[in-house]
Chain A
Amino acid sequence: MSGIKIMRYLPLTPEDRADMLGVIGAESIDELFVDVPAVARRAQPVDLPFHAGELEVEREMLALSRRNRAASEGPFFVGAGAYRHHVPATVDHIIQRSEFLTSYTPYQPEIAQGTLQVLFEFQTQVAALTGMEVANASLYDGSTAAAEAVMMATRVTRRNKAVLSGGVHPQYVGTVETLAHAAGVATDRLPAAIDAEDAVIAAIDADTACVVVQTPNVFGTATDVTKIAAAAQAAGALLIVVTTEAVSYGLLKSPGEMGADIVVAEGQSIGNGLNFGGPYVGLFACKEKYVRQAPGRLCGETVDAEGRRGFVLTLSTREQHIRRDKATSNICTNSGLCALAFSIHMSLLGEKGLRRLALVNHQKAVKLRDALAAVPGVQVLTPRFFNEFAIKVPGNAAELVETLAANGVIAGVPFSRLDPAAGLDDVLLVAATETTPDGDIALFSKALSKVLAQ
């Protein structure tokens, strides 16, 4: 082998690295990561063989994947922020067109009309669904959209505190707290509560920039938030409404109709699979008078020099490529392909189709409610729901879920998994969608009866 030059794919030599570290005054590359807590850093490399053949790797990965159970493989009642819905084959077919699949941020309207038009139509759909005047071209997901909404409210009101209801998804609360903490914004999160979105009203004070409520909330409870909107606005605060199940807009009164100032939602339910928890698509809409403080991309309709309809990014001066550190948000990227999938599915459904889909979801959930309520020892906790609700089970819900999984039923999400400190270890969140066969509901209630009787 001597004499043969080995071409390396790594462009830097150890000498290059040492030079660069010397310039910035660091001893080692590891020193650049000291901001990451030690417990989150790996002391040793992952224990993997130095090399392996492609066929061996495929076999290994296949064996690993067989340890999963896909949502479609049997009775499945998981919701709590991610929902299994049918995605028509048309959606995948269209999003895989290379014009969409490979397109990057549409800075240049002269070459990106297709992408811009998609974003404009996406915004139109989101504004219509949420009942708001303006929607952006999407954010990463529902939880980051919620955090952005809180930051926006502090800019609009020039106040510095957010009050979050006990019905907001705990992981959304976590995302809001992470960003708010770093930005010096105080958060007041009320104790987890199944049906108490109104409790935020009593927590509003002169420093409150916004109240954040969720409907349907993490326990599935649907709430008319009109009174909360009025109370917040009378106190000079904004109402932020969170929704994790976008299909619910097909049946329930929209947040805009109820007086919301900002609406954020997870759009995964429409056009997107469970995708192992991401990528998802954050919906963001607000009243027009606040649009200059909104985060993210906005696509606008205009006319070109010859008077023809066209699309451009608009109000870009809010964004970080122009305003730098004073931008309204430092997340300028969105999940464009997921937003496209959302738009295609929405276009296929239309207004009537969405309504019908939502109705089927609710009907399935009612069937599930009736079946589970008949199981001795089970109590349905959610008073008004769309397609998911909470039940109280005898004993520990997390253990019950494991036992049921061993019996072939993926029964839902124990609330303790989302919020271990809430003291709601006997609460189980269950969801049904149009993909839930009646037979699976029967299997669930039967397995539950059997397990509880043991």
Chain B
Amino acid sequence: MKFTKDHEWVEVAGDIATVGITAYAAEQLGDVVFVEVPEVGKTVKQGDQLAVVESVKAASDVYAPVSGEVVEANETLGDSPETVNALPEAGGWFAKVKLSNAAELDALMDRDAYEAFLGTL
């Protein structure tokens, strides 16, 4: 699993990257009440807005940690957005993106680096 400074995580299997927000982000947001997932087929560039997550405290954009085409969106979040709080780094994933540039992954943090980054916040 790789991480961004915007608190997204990405896990790659083959050329498919699953994207979500980290446990830290989910805890900071508080109770998530709504998630807007991207449309399947949408092409995103690294850093583009991918999804919107809304909690009782705030509404935030989720950015694409990698470039590619959205091949699947987690539609179950529509009915149960609380999964983002319960299982942020598993069932609370937002979208699956087919990688168009796997080299982008190299610049992302591993878990140790991300933990160290959190220590600086």
A residues touching B (Cβ–Cβ < 8 Å)?
158, 292, 317, 322-323, 326
CB-based contact A317/B39 at 8 Å: no
B residues touching A (Cβ–Cβ < 8 Å)?
34, 36, 39, 52, 54, 58-59, 61
Q: Please give me the residue from chain B that is nearest to A292 by CB atom.
A: B34
CB-based contact B59/A323 at 8 Å: yes
Q: Which of A158, A317, A326 contacts B58 (CB 8 A)?
A: A317
Instruction: Give A158 to B42 CA distance when docked, in angstroms.
Output: 11
Instruction: Give A240 to B36 CA distance when docked, in angstroms.
Output: 23
Nearest 8 Cβ contacts at the A-B interface? A317-B59, A317-B54, A158-B39, A323-B59, A322-B59, A292-B34, A322-B58, A317-B58
Instruction: Give A323 to B61 CA distance when docked, in angstroms.
Output: 10
Q: Please give me the residue from chain A that is nearest to B34 by CB atom.
A: A292
A229 CB, nearest partner CB in chain B, Å: 23
Q: Please give me the residue from chain B that is nearest to A155 by CB atom.
A: B36
Instruction: Give A256 to B33 CA distance when docked, in angstroms.
Output: 27
> Which B residues touch A292, using CB under 8 A?
34, 36
Instruction: Give A196 to B108 CA distance when docked, in angstroms.
Output: 58
> Which B residues touch A326, using CB under 8 A?
52, 61
12 A-B pairs with C-beta separation under 8 A: A158-B39, A292-B34, A292-B36, A317-B34, A317-B54, A317-B58, A317-B59, A322-B58, A322-B59, A323-B59, A326-B52, A326-B61
A206 CB, nearest partner CB in chain B, Å: 14
Instruction: Give A326 to B39 CA distance when docked, in angstroms.
Output: 17
B98 CB, nearest partner CB in chain A, Å: 19
> Which B residues touch A323, using CB under 8 A?
59
Q: Please give me the residue from chain A that is nearest to B36 by CB atom.
A: A292
Instruction: Give A223 to B34 CA distance when docked, in angstroms.
Output: 37
Q: Please give me the residue from chain A that is nearest to B54 by CB atom.
A: A317
Instruction: Give A317 to B34 CA distance when docked, in angstroms.
Output: 10
Instruction: Give A326 to B52 CA distance when docked, in angstroms.
Output: 10
Instruction: Give A323 to B58 CA distance when docked, in angstroms.
Output: 9
Given contacts A317-B58, A323-B59, 7 further A-B contacts (CB under 8 A): A158-B39, A292-B34, A317-B54, A322-B58, A322-B59, A326-B52, A326-B61
Q: Please give me the residue from chain B that is nearest to A323 by CB atom.
A: B59
